Structure 1
């Protein structure tokens, strides 16, 4: 297929954009905790303690008393202490409706000093604590298991400062990612992280889980972008490294302990982060390919030919696009003029380029696409012609996560693997489910719908989603530790960007050595000797 045909196919896109505006919420809104689109099953979520009876409440921890509540109210005020069972539900239950805790109180402090006072009290009185941001964790890391006290950072939502010369943003941890991005857009900068859940996730939670996101290929990991942090330790001590230095080689880089610690060492309350200049031109190509090998070859050539303007390279299998199509009800961008079905290409790729000169960037993208289509590395595709079309194409990638829950639930596995072996995990899991008599897309009497794969080719991050009609132990036992064994055999990581949380705490040995695990335990014991911070998770 020639590039002229590729460009001509983009004329279908305005029709898709119109359908989005009429029939569904804006993308960011679909991830809201309170969105009617959040879940597609009305079944009550069972308590985590019921589903995992082997996990016992630590007898060291105290139970909440009226005296405790009175103290909390004296610190944050009556309105910031939530005890009503209906109001507590959203804080006790995770986004995927897989885990549900039994917390009797949520605290919503408005300052770092209030958090310090609360944590000091909880530590002295042996009250276990779960820090919570936007509650978008996909591994059960942000909700209680038993009756832990939830401390929400939702009220810490100020942008503290932004230096337009250096590009350094200082902000509270409760700032919503999309709000941070909107603020920076007004100042010609961009937040170095982008997620499908940006409409509800908090930047503090992003750092606590070391979120990777859609443009890690361009901007790198948060371990490199975060310059400093403010955090409250379990005993109430305030750690403050909110300086603006990009280079500081004096002693240990302590902030790194908190990036990816998932609330087990303290509560992040503020961040200092380097934000790149905002690209002046952005474009997206959406391509159909006939094999995973051609996905890899397209990526190799994109890195070489697009080089400095390549900002994202996402891949999706056909099954993930079928789910997205059913979820959105929209015609696929590569469907024929008289057809709305997802075409039969086994794989799809979304390539984003961004830079400072639109004419230069478009020419590079056009030259690249002509090259990969002339030799049939790429079979079909379309290119966005404006901002609306660009967002439409991104929707087909970003909506997959929520679409995978549409039958009732999803087992999500977020792993890193060497690129040659990356997609083979999806095939292995599908085969295992088939052997166990569980894999059935249309048979509603069985718990599994299908196994789908998509993710970030640029950093070797595969999202394996096993879509289910209900969370069944027989499915979980078929998947775990099978998935982690496959990852270990290929020298990968069981968590690329979602974290460990509750889901993976028993499987960390598949990625970490005994020495590494002991060092993690030693750090936890040193900074949280009473173990009150986010217990029953991580290790």
Structure 2
């Protein structure tokens, strides 16, 4: 966005990002600060292995090799490490076998066999989940969709995109960019996560404000049920009012009802011009006023409204090791993205919004990206927070939805509780390093991160169920976009009613009567 000198003087924006122009690399989505991850069964001894599930035998391995080639049946302990551990290195299973099918028919054969033999299975995409939902708890077989990574078709008139579940999100978006379209989902882990996994946990991401949830954009799915039955709705159109919309059951089901192998999704035209403003604000109240004004003045071109607190940016400074976009520190920061088809129109709207915000005292300072490199750099100061929160050793992550007026209150409450318990401090004597909050103001999604030097039961008991009780009291949801997984399976009652949970269990029993799909998770 070009701002004339007069306008700069009026609202004090410094377009001075020349000191951090280079695009920062996307780091691997895994923290290795903790050398040895204890087994989940040791950390959570109250979780017992279901003895109805069979132990894997050499005969089973032989059957899998009849379905797949030898190279796609992994049994070497070193090869299994990645698939057994979650991104945060908080949970670790002891699977003895990873299967990597290349076709839906192979997935069907595997599940049919496992269901008959009562062998538990964990479907796994890019393994970037944050609630322990995509790794084994005990010795379940891992079903990796990584080799199912083909783009099936794209209609450049309707925008309907069909692809395998194992396509990496960033690759899908790059393909669409060449066609003038955009994938209606964007995540910090886009370089590693799979589209099928995104759908399975109903990922929300950075631009839900603009493009809505996957419940609205996914048109059809190809799913393999626990008994090997293939359910194919990939042919679906934008309007189909015949019978129950069964695909919705699998969006957000976290692999507990079936394994998603194909996705048909509606993709919008790619915006031709994008602007980013990175702002400093003095209070959470100012953040709310800024959001209200952004909706009113930026309207149809507003595509993202992200907020970060001072603690999150302080850790980001230590992690990124670059000069921060703003010279002064502020209690809160906001990243605003606009995107549209007319540069002059978009520039004018953003400039007017920024000028008004500064004059009204809502925004204290800010900077605006001037080119593509600066756009990526500013976004990294937001996207990098998730990885930055792990630099002390580990992180407890809570992805929640709360009414906007109370959104940051949870961060303050958690910080106060840990201080009262004498668990948070600057020295190594304390397990907790920092409590930070950031997230998507546009859809009321808070990421509460408790950065720790080490995982301890003392910290966990201090946070849980306190965090969930606080959310319930303020009429929020304990999971906004990451799902329930293993971490939150016992706390679903803080958001869902008894009858809702009953329906969920009935559906699970109907679609997976032997319970082999992703056991010990969800409910």
TM over 0.5: yes
Deviation track 1:455-480 (CA, whole Å, cap 9, x = no partner) reads: 00000000000000111000000000
Aligned match for 2:383, one of 398, 413, 435: 398
Deviation track 1:300-328 (CA, whole Å, cap 9, x = no partner) reads: 01000000000000000000000000001
- 2:407 equivalent in structure 1: 422
Q: Secondary structure at the match of 1:396?
A: helix
Contact 1:418/1:490, CA 8 A, preserved across alignment: yes
Q: Secondary structure at the match of 1:492?
A: coil
Distance 1:371 1:409 in 2: 41
Aligned match for 1:510, one of 466, 491, 494: 494
Deviation track 1:442-493 (CA, whole Å, cap 9, x = no partner) reads: 2111110011000000000000000001110000000000000000000000
Q: Secondary structure at the match of 2:113?
A: helix
Aligned match for 2:37, one of 45, 53, 63: 45
- 1:239 equivalent in structure 2: 231
In the alignment, does 2:13 pair up with 1:13?
no
Q: Secondary structure at the match of 2:280?
A: strand
TM-score of the two chains, using structure 1 as the length reference: 0.95
Aligned match for 1:354, one of 339, 355, 359: 339
Instruction: Classify 1:75/1:457 alpha carbon distance in 2 versus 1 (closer, same or farther; 3 Å).
Output: same
Contact 1:130/1:142, CA 8 A, preserved across alignment: yes
Contact 2:275/2:339, CA 8 A, preserved across alignment: yes
Distance 2:265 2:274 in 1: 23
Per-residue deviation, 1:244: 3.9
- 1:340 equivalent in structure 2: none
Contact 1:7/1:382, CA 8 A, preserved across alignment: no
Distance 2:264 2:84 in 1: 30
- 2:509 equivalent in structure 1: 525
Per-residue deviation, 1:345: 1.1
Contact 1:116/1:237, CA 8 A, preserved across alignment: yes
Contact 1:439/1:449, CA 8 A, preserved across alignment: yes
In the alignment, does 2:73 pair up with 1:76?
no
Query: For residues 125-274 of structure 1, what are the structure 2 equivalents within 5 Å?
Result: 125-274=117-266
Q: Secondary structure at the match of 2:179?
A: coil
Instruction: Classify 1:235/1:393 alpha carbon distance in 2 versus 1 (closer, same or farther; 3 Å).
Output: same
Contact 2:167/2:194, CA 8 A, preserved across alignment: yes
Contact 2:15/2:368, CA 8 A, preserved across alignment: no
Aligned match for 1:482, one of 459, 466, 475: 466
Distance 2:133 2:31 in 1: 19
Per-residue deviation, 1:369: 0.4
Distance 2:10 2:313 in 1: 19
In the alignment, does 2:378 pair up with 1:378?
no
Per-residue deviation, 1:212: 0.1
Contact 1:209/1:259, CA 8 A, preserved across alignment: yes
Contact 1:6/1:380, CA 8 A, preserved across alignment: no
- 2:276 equivalent in structure 1: 284
Deviation track 1:276-308 (CA, whole Å, cap 9, x = no partner) reads: 000000000000000100100000010000000
Structure 1: which 4+ aligned runs deviate by more than 2 Å? Answer: 5-12
Distance 1:219 1:147 in 2: 39
Per-residue deviation, 1:14: 2.3
Deviation track 1:234-288 (CA, whole Å, cap 9, x = no partner) reads: 0000000001400001110000000000000110000000000000000000000
In the alignment, does 2:70 pair up with 1:86?
no
- 2:101 equivalent in structure 1: 109
Q: Secondary structure at the match of 1:353?
A: strand
Residues matched between the structures, number: 519
Distance 1:499 1:277 in 2: 29
Distance 2:236 2:190 in 1: 25
Distance 2:329 2:468 in 1: 30
In the alignment, does 2:406 pair up with 1:443?
no
Q: Secondary structure at the match of 1:86?
A: helix
Distance 1:476 1:139 in 2: 14
Deviation track 1:391-427 (CA, whole Å, cap 9, x = no partner) reads: 1110100000000001110000001000000000000
Deviation track 1:144-185 (CA, whole Å, cap 9, x = no partner) reads: 000000000001000000000000000000000000000000
Distance 1:14 1:306 in 2: 27
Distance 1:377 1:84 in 2: 57
Distance 2:154 2:289 in 1: 41
Q: Secondary structure at the match of 1:306?
A: helix
In the alignment, does 2:15 pair up with 1:31?
no
Q: Secondary structure at the match of 1:186?
A: helix
Aligned match for 1:454, one of 414, 438, 456: 438
Q: Secondary structure at the match of 2:21?
A: helix
Q: Say what the alpha-carbon RMSD is for the aligned residues.
A: 1.3
In the alignment, does 2:256 pair up with 1:275?
no
Per-residue deviation, 1:344: 2.9
Instruction: Classify 1:6/1:479 alpha carbon distance in 2 versus 1 (closer, same or farther; 3 Å).
Output: farther
Distance 2:78 2:339 in 1: 45
Per-residue deviation, 1:215: 0.1
- 1:118 equivalent in structure 2: 110
Distance 1:196 1:103 in 2: 28
Q: Secondary structure at the match of 1:171?
A: strand
Q: Secondary structure at the match of 2:416?
A: helix
Q: Secondary structure at the match of 1:412?
A: strand
